[in-house]
Amino acid sequence: MQSAWSRMGDARPPVDPVFVNIGQHYDDELAGVYFRELAVNVDVDLTHRHQSHDTDQIVLHSIDLLMHIARERGLRGLVVFGDANAALVGAVAARLLGLPLAHIEAGLRRGDRSTAEEINTCIADQVASLHLAASHVDVLNLENEGFADSTYFVGDVVRDLVAELCDAGLVNVDRHVNSNAPVVATFHRAESMNAETLWAFSKLLAATERPVDLYAHPRLVAELKNYCIQLPDNVTVSKPIAYVPMLQAIADAYYVITDSGALQREAFYLGRRALVAQRIPFWRSLTNAGYHLTIDLGAGDVDAAPQRMRELLLDPAPAVDDFGERGVCRKVWYRLGEWIEGFV
């Protein structure tokens, strides 16, 4: 994304941004490899400044560090993205410092306040004075919560990134699905890492009755071992891979099984359907339209899901107009520029 932003020219905000990585993902295979691959340069990297890998400690320490950086560099405002802990860190720091906050990918709601992501994005939206929405559904969420005057629909920046990599020939997409292709799977969300859900996930993979390439998050590997769960023989387990190879794996897949919010959108942009292993999906426009299929692993419909997915693939993919068109990054910078001019 940064490479796309650097070409915005006059659309850049009238100040020099300071990019801060709070170091939420401290594993090289979960973060460092992506930074190198996409040539993302950060001005301040907090990855190695934390004394602990405990999530709560990283969040608390990051708030202190970000406040120090903001004072030291004389920052006039903060911008956060998405629903990860970085959004929470930025929101709390902005409120404590009395700085304005902008939230990119604002308004994402699953209606499940038991998850960290839902809490993070709700707090960020409460603090923010500028809400940039990735989907039309998110705009409605924000309007219903009283943020209509500060909300703008810009679209999904992930669409720009995927399109840019495809245009560069780094990801090759064939809209025709190869019937011999494997199913590509990922599974990592904290709320899914319990014995009942993991047993159901293993059963789901077996029920696909075709080869499954599982790119396993370290958390998944650890919890499968913890609960002594053996994956079926049709599953090949690999470590997480870099972003471009992962996009290519999705593009080459028969379909995708995932609980990843980002991967659900990436599959859509690459023309691949997904079996979303979440009780409540992140992007309901895709499942409501019948582009993706949702399965609740705790509801006992695991055996039937692969057959439902095969039937879904027989139908033409429906059109979904929820995430805007290309040029999202330019729209983001334009709105940020207007916002910044209001208080610089």
Structure tokens at 164: 């840019």
Q: Which residue, chain included where needed, has tokens 């594993």?
A: 27
Mode of pairing for the β-strands spanning 293-294 and 274-276: parallel
pLDDT tens-digit profile of 25-62?
666 666 777 778 888 888 888 887 776 667 778 888 88
Residue 210 makes CB contacts below 8 A (sequence gap 6+) with 182, 183, 234, 254
Q: Please state whether 278 falls in left (phi above 0), alpha (psi between -120 and 50) or beta.
A: beta
CA nearest neighbour of 196 among 121, 297, 111: 297
pLDDT > 70? residue 1 = no
pLDDT tens-digit profile of 169-194?
999 998 788 888 999 999 988 888 99
User: Taking the chain, what is the end-to-end CA distance rounded to the nearest angstrom?
Assistant: 25
**Identity of residue 320:** V
For residue 215, what are the β-bridge partners?
238
Gap between the Cα atoms of 279 and 213, Å rounded: 23
156, 328 contact by CB (below 8 A): yes
Whole-model pTM?
Answer: 0.89
Domains for the chain: give ranges and CATH numbers.
2-155+324-341 (3.40.50.2000), 183-314 (3.40.50.2000)
pLDDT > 80? residue 158 = yes
Mean local confidence (pLDDT), 219-234 = 94
pLDDT tens-digit profile of 266-302?
999 999 999 999 888 888 899 999 999 999 888 777 8
325, 3 contact by CB (below 8 A): no
Say what the pLDDT of residue 7 is: 46
CA nearest neighbour of 128 among 68, 159, 83: 83
Lowest mean pLDDT among 15-19, 163-167, 291-295: 15-19
Say what the pLDDT of residue 6 is: 46
pLDDT > 70? residue 95 = yes
Q: What angle do CA 159, 180, 201 make, to 5 degrees?
A: 70
Would you place residue 344 in the very low, low, confident or very high pLDDT band (cuts 50, 70, 90)?
low
